[in-house]
Structure formats: structure tokens, C-alpha cells
Structure 1
Amino acid sequence: MKNILLLFFLVITNNNLYSQFVISKSASDRMEGKLKKEILDKASLRCWYEFIQYCSNEGIKEQVVDTFTLDIGLKCSMYYDQNRIMRDSADRVEGERLRPRVKLIRQHMTKAEIDALREQGGGSYQELLSRGETAVLYKDRKKQKIIIIDGTITEMYKCIDEVPPQSWELREDTMTILGYVSQKAETVFRGRSYVAWFAPDIPLQDGPWKLYGLPGLILQVVVDDGLFVFKAIGIQQLESFPIAMNKDQYVTTDRKQIRKLAFKKNNKRRFLGVDGIFSMSFEADKRIFDELEQE
């Protein structure tokens, strides 16, 4: 539905002023999937990870489960939320379908209007709660750096994070994951303790998120006694699948600032009405998440 934002005026209802939603050509091309690509590598293996973390919601501890994809090449890998990309693609299609019906975009619904839309259901109302990782992580194992791409509708941000392989201590313990005998290893990375299990029979020195450097693919990671868990749930051989990054107009930033951006984006809930008027409102998400990186 993001494409609708390219076409109409936002009406600020609390002061009856009109303000135009201005967007660059690169942003328009990005949302239409028209940007040129830079091929970083060719992936030969795809691994899906279940990522489990906990949050506090008004004092109640909740478990949040997301699924991430790791495409691995000889030099580089790409770690991303495939469900989010698929949803964004569906949003573009839905935006095209709704475009003729939308006459106006209006911000800031009242609580009564939100409740009314909730009761209507069907095609007149959607409630979207951002989950998972909005960023895409490109890991260059040879250059020992990770490129983090994240952004908003109007701007995309790039952070180059210098991340050498973690200093792992190998243990003799083993366990079987997805049919692969996996060996235990431990490390401390940016303020947290990690217990990992890697498969020597998969000779790719990569893993989920920013973790890598073991003599085999990392299939499972438990962080700080279970506060975070990465667990491989599927592996697929690929035939030279491109690891590609958009040639976009990026704003360069650092690791702390890009995490602040992610927090700001993920900490909102959106309500959409599409019966002639596209209404949009935001409510604070009361969930409190811990950060993986503590330093």
C-alpha cells in the first residue's frame, strides 16, 4: 500500500492544513522494484533460521518468533526477513489495486474512528504491527565488514560495520541439527555471551546475523541463557542465486543511529482505512525489547 503515498495529499486533521508528501525518483523506483542492482556474490546455499526473543509488554514477558533467511556465497552472504520482503511486494500490488478508489489520505484518526474500523473488518481495515528485522545485512567475510541497509519510505540508510570473525572457543560437545552433527563453540560478542553449534560438514564459515568465523555453518545459537535463540529450520541448495544490493541514494550513518531508526520504525502500529479515504494513525507499541548488542 506504500504506493498510495506517492499520489495524494496528506491532510493534517488537527489543524486543517494540507501538506504534500514529497518523494524522490530513487525512492519511487525503489518501491516499484526498478532500481539497478549491484551483484556482490552468488549464493550456493540458503539457510532459514527461527529467531526467538523475549519482550516485556506492560510487565508481562512475551515470546516473539520471527523467521530469517541467510543466502551464502563464497565471499559474501545476505541476511534478511524474507516474510517482510514478500509482504512489501504484496503491499505494492495492493496499492496498485486500490489506487483508483482512494480519493484522499488523512492522518491521525481518533480512537473512536479506529474502533469503528476494527468493528467493520474486511477490506476497510488493516492493522499492521511491524515485526522482525527491517534491515538487510550483507556480510563480506573476506573484508570483515557488514553492510547494514535500512530506511523509511523517503530515505535509505547505509551503515558499514567493521566486524572481524568472533573469537570462538571450540568445545568437544556435539548435537545433531537438521541431520548434521554439530560441534559446540562459545564466544563473547559486544557485551553478550554466545553458545553456538556449527556443522563441519557444511564448510561455509558463516552464520545468522553478524556471527561467523567457525569451520562450518552455524546452525544454532543461544544467547545469554536463552534470551535470544537462532535455530536453523531448513537448508536449501541454490544454483548461483545472486546476492544483490540496490544501487540507491543512501544516507551514510553509524551502527547506533541505524538501530535508533529501526527502533523508531518497529515501535509503531498502523491503522489503514481504504473506503475512498486512506486514513492512517499510529499508536505506541508498548512492547519493550532488549538489544542484542550491548556495546
Structure 2
Amino acid sequence: MCPASNILKIVYAMKKILILILLLYVGNSTFAQELQNRTEFECQYKYSYQNDTVKGTTKDDRLVLLIGSKVSKCCSFYSLQIDSLMSKPNWYEIYRKQLNKAFASNIDPPHRRMKAYVYKNYPEGKMTVTDGLSLQDYIYVDSLNNINWTMVDSTKTILNYTVQMATCDYRGHHWTAWFAPDVPVSDGPWKLHGLPGLIMEAYDTNAYHHFTIVGIRKVSDMPIVMSKTYVGTNKFEKVKRKDFLKMQRQYLENMSGIIKMETGIDIDPNSSRKQLGFQPLETE
């Protein structure tokens, strides 16, 4: 049996191979078109999720919700960092230094976490979502104003705001949300929306996913833009939502096999198709 130190070296070597593979497919990214809207509120959420429901292990992300008068954008803070880096002319040298520093310290290098970008009311009355699997990014149009909330006579305080409880069944999970009527914005983290106030906290019954607001501020000088893909062919592939979810499940069940098929590199010779131990945000 390998000592723990050797196992860690193998894990970090695999991570390095994966990231270097991705770098081979990265183009010179720039921000795409401005969505003719500027940010009025910037909200940040801690996003905790069970990455292995069998072992009960969890991971964290940090989501940013930019809310304008017509359009909003929600994505990972770390994805925005990578977007900003890739817009620089010398991004490759900067990123190589960051990679070397991270691997020397045995820590995770800068990378996109949740790959989904959610644009509510874009186009008007709809929701546009971009997301990625391995070496390809996808885009699809989703429904808006399709969540049937039930108000609950229960309140508490979050960030000095009095928030009210509401519940719903949405995309395979039963959600509890806490919204602030004093922040008259019908929006929230990820795809959650449709309440008479900003959603400050939301979680599903089984605690697979948990969003908690950690900060909110008014801003006036930040445009809302649709971030551009920078992997694969540098073009989003148009799909339907349910087709993407099906591909996502196949990828999560056989990640190393799909990477081997796409790149020819076998990152885990002993792997096999496995039962999914992670509950995605959408299961239907």
C-alpha cells in the first residue's frame, strides 16, 4: 500500500496533468458583449455542497450575483477571477507562475469551480445558462418565473435584515429559502428567483446544497457582461437543458474515461464507470 505522502503526490500530479491539458485548449479570452445593463447590487454567497453523499464530504464555492435593472448574472467568484486573468495579454505567463506556486505548496491552483453562468431575464422573459463539461462549453435557454413558492409564517435575521421563509419544489429538490422584503429584488443565487425580495439563504431538504449570503453592496460602475468561453473551439455549443443534464450525469459517472477519449491521456487506469455519489443542483 502506498504511503499517504505518495498518494498525495499522485493526486497533485493528476491535477497538474488535467490543468495543463486545459491550458492547451485555452484561447486568448476577452469579455463578450455588454448586456446593456449595469450592476446596481452585488451580492456574494457562500455555496456549500456535498461532493460525496456516501462519505458525507463537502466542498465550498463563492458565488457572485450581479443585479441590474433588467438583467442579472450569477457565477462563481473564482470563474470571474479566471475570466479577468484570461483577458490580459500576458495571461499565460501569469498563470504558469500561479500554477508553479500552487503545486510547490501542494495547494489547489486558481481554477473555475462551478462552471455555470446564469443570466436571468436574458433574453427578456427567459434565462440563459452557459456551463462546461471537460473541454467544451455549452449554452441553453431556460424558463424564467417558473417557481411556485409557498410562503411560510416564519422569520429570522440575516445580515441585519428581517427575512421570511418560503418553500418550493424545483428541479428535483425541495427548497427552503429566506428572502428579505426590504431588498425589493426578485432574485437570488444560482437559478433561484421569484420571491418579493432578495433571497438571502436557500437550502434543500437533504442539505446537498446550501447558499448563504455573506455580503451585499450597492454599485454603479460595473457593467453586466456575458462571459466568453475559452475552452475547446472557443464557441458555445447550443443544447437543450435536459440534454445538457444528461451529458453532465454521464460525465460525472465516467470523468476519467471521457478525458481519455478526448485527450488520449489515462489519468486513472483503475477507474471504471461509477454510481454517482453527488447530487447535482438539477436532477430533472
TM-score normalised by L of structure 1: 0.68
* 1:259-270 mapped onto 2 (5 Å cutoff): 259-260=245-246, 262=248, 264=251
1:192 CA displacement:
1.8
Q: 2:216 aligns with which of 235, 241, 263?
A: 235
Query: What residue number does 2:38 align with?
Result: 42
Q: Where do 5+ consecutive residues of structure 2 fail to align? A: 1-18, 97-102, 230-234, 257-264
Query: What residue number does 1:255 align with?
Result: 241
Query: What residue number does 1:69 align with?
Result: 64
Against the structure 1 CA distance between its residues 83 and 4, is the aligned structure 2 distance closer, same or farther, given a 3 Å change threshold? closer
Against the structure 1 CA distance between its residues 175 and 87, is the aligned structure 2 distance closer, same or farther, given a 3 Å change threshold? same
Q: Kindly tell me the number of residue pairs found equivalent between the two proteins.
A: 241
- Partners of 2:120 and 2:95 in 1: CA distance: 38
**Are the counterparts in 1 of residues 164 and 179 from structure 2 also a CA contact under 8 Å?**
yes
Indicate the SS of the match to 1:86: helix
- Partners of 1:142 and 1:155 in 2: CA distance: 23
TM-score normalised by L of structure 2: 0.70
**Are the counterparts in 1 of residues 82 and 110 from structure 2 also a CA contact under 8 Å?**
no
Q: 2:73 aligns with which of 50, 74, 78?
A: 78
1:252 CA displacement:
0.9
Point out the structure with max Rg over C-alpha: 1
1:190 CA displacement:
2.3
Query: What residue number does 1:208 align with?
Result: 189
Against the structure 1 CA distance between its residues 289 and 129, is the aligned structure 2 distance closer, same or farther, given a 3 Å change threshold? farther
Higher mean C-alpha displacement, 231-240 vs 283-292:
283-292
Q: 1:96 aligns with which of 93, 97, 114?
A: 93
In structure 1, what residue type is equivalent to 2:75?
Answer: Y
Q: Where do 5+ consecutive residues of structure 1 fail to align? A: 7-22, 100-120, 270-279
Query: What residue number does 2:104 align with?
Result: 122
- Partners of 1:166 and 1:240 in 2: CA distance: 31
Against the structure 1 CA distance between its residues 128 and 218, is the aligned structure 2 distance closer, same or farther, given a 3 Å change threshold? same
Indicate the SS of the match to 1:85: helix
Query: What residue number does 1:294 align with?
Result: 283
* 1:113-262 mapped onto 2 (5 Å cutoff): 122=104, 132-140=113-121, 143-151=124-132, 155-246=136-227, 249-260=235-246, 262=248
Indicate the SS of the match to 1:207: coil
Against the structure 1 CA distance between its residues 61 and 3, is the aligned structure 2 distance closer, same or farther, given a 3 Å change threshold? closer
1:255 CA displacement:
1.3
Indicate the SS of the match to 1:256: helix
Q: Which has the higher helix share?
A: 2
Against the structure 1 CA distance between its residues 122 and 154, is the aligned structure 2 distance closer, same or farther, given a 3 Å change threshold? closer
**Are the counterparts in 2 of residues 40 and 245 from structure 1 also a CA contact under 8 Å?**
no
1:257 CA displacement:
3.1
Instruction: State the superposition RMSD in angstroms.
Output: 3.7
1:260 CA displacement:
4.8
